[in-house]
Structure formats: structure tokens, C-alpha cells
């Protein structure tokens, strides 16, 4: 049985859209940037702020409202129709202090299918956690935990593909993936032979 590794933020949920609309714009009501305008991730340059200010805002949102994020309905429908035909893990990049919120969210919404949560800590000032893995590719290379990665980050997709693993690119404003989320999931369905 194949194992699918799922990115969490902006694949299983809508973190960036929710953060921009309910977090950043609440504090910066004059911000005219829309989710579709986020052609870069991280978007600090587009928002005319420092990387540190962006990360602090995103992390504060994760900690205060991360448990309220909604799963992408298209992804949830895919799991309901096809989730039991392969195994699943979560593989995300998140700061250590935010990982418990992310893990609880995944288990609450997708725990019927996703049975393990793995994360590569996103670097933050003052975090001196050991760097066991520095990327999703290094985790997958070392652990052999999955056959395919579903992700929105082109760097992750490129690095994991170089390992010889299948990748399913999920569209987002900041990447060059063409097609829809439905198209991406149809590609996953085809790969796992359903």
C-alpha cells in the first residue's frame, strides 16, 4: 500500500488566506493586497514589512486561531472518497512552538486517515532545537516514510522529486502550478491506481 505525505498549511487547510484576511488585515486595515496577489511566499516584501514582522504575525495567528482553520473541502472530499485506499502521513514545516496546534488540527480533521504527524521545524529567532532534518526531502530520504508528497512549495517539490519520489504539486498564487486543486488530486488518484 502506498503512503502519501501531505503538507498541512495551504494544502490541507487555508492558513495563508485565513491569516491574511483575519490576522494581517485586522491589524493593517489599509492593506490592499488580496490572497491572489501573494505571488511570493513568504510575502513580507509584498506586504512592506520585515520577515520577522511577518513571521511573528503568522505564528501569533497560528497560536490564536490555528485550531479554527477549515479543511479545504476539495481535499476532504478526496479523503472521504479515496483516503482508505492508501496510507497517509502529515509532513509540514512549522515552528516548534506551533507544532502542537498543527498536529491537533490534523488529527481532529484528518485523523481517520492520517495516522502520523511529522514536521521539519521552521527556523525562528531564539529556537535552538536540534536540526535532525533541514528539509522535507532530507526527512523523506532518511525515513523512507512516503512514496509521494503533496505540497505547494516548489522547492520542496523539486528536492523530493530529485529523490525519485512522486510529487503532486498543489496550486497556490505563489507557485507556477497550473490547473486546479481538483486536477492535482485527480493526478494523485491516478498515481495510486484508484
Domain spans, the chain: 3-14+70-191, 15-68
Compute the distance between CA of residue 67 and CA of residue 75 in angstroms, rounded to an integer.
Answer: 18
Query: Do the Cβ atoms of 100 and 119 come closer than 8 Å?
Result: no
Compute the distance between CA of residue 162 and CA of residue 165 in angstroms, rounded to an integer.
Answer: 7
Compute the distance between CA of residue 185 and CA of residue 168 in angstroms, rounded to an integer.
Answer: 8
Residues paired with 119 in a beta bridge: 92
Query: With respect to CATH, is domain 3-14+70-191 assigned 3.40.50.1000?
Result: yes
Condensed to tens digits (0 to 9), the pLDDT of residues 84-99 reads 999 999 999 999 999 9
pLDDT given at position 156: 98
Q: Looking up cell 513580507, which residue turns up?
A: 44
Condensed to tens digits (0 to 9), the pLDDT of residues 157-173 reads 999 999 999 999 999 99
Count Cβ neighbours within 10 Å for each residue of 73-86 and write b for 16 or more, e otherwise.
eebeebbeebbeeb
Q: What pTM was computed for the model?
A: 0.96
Amino acid at each position: 500500500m502506498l503512503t502519501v505525505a501531505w503538507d498541512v498549511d495551504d494544502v490541507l487547510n487555508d492558513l495563508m488566506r485565513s491569516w491574511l484576511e483575519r490576522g494581517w488585515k485586522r491589524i493593517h486595515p489599509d492593506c490592499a493586497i488580496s490572497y491572489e496577489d501573494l505571488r511570493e511566499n513568504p510575502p513580507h516584501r509584498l506586504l512592506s514589512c520585515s520577515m520577522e514582522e511577518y513571521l511573528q504575525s503568522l505564528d501569533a495567528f497560528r497560536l490564536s486561531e490555528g485550531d479554527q482553520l477549515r479543511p479545504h473541502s476539495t481535499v476532504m472530499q478526496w479523503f472521504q472518497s479515496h483516503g482508505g485506499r492508501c496510507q497517509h502521513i502529515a509532513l509540514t514545516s512549522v515552528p516548534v512552538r506551533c507544532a502542537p496546534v498543527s498536529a491537533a488540527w490534523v488529527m481532529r480533521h484528518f485523523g481517520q486517515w492520517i495516522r502520523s504527524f511529522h514536521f521539519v521545524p521552521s527556523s525562528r529567532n531564539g529556537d535552538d532545537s536540534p536540526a535532525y532534518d533541514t528539509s522535507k526531502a532530507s526527512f523523506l530520504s532518511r525515513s523512507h516514510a512516503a512514496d509521494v508528497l503533496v505540497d505547494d512549495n516548489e522547492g520542496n517539490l523539486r528536492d523530493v522529486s530529485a529523490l525519485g519520489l512522486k510529487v503532486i504539486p498543489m496550486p497556490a498564487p505563489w507557485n507556477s502550478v497550473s490547473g486546479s486543486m481538483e486536477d492535482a488530486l485527480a493526478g494523485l488518484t491516478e498515481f495510486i491506481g484508484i
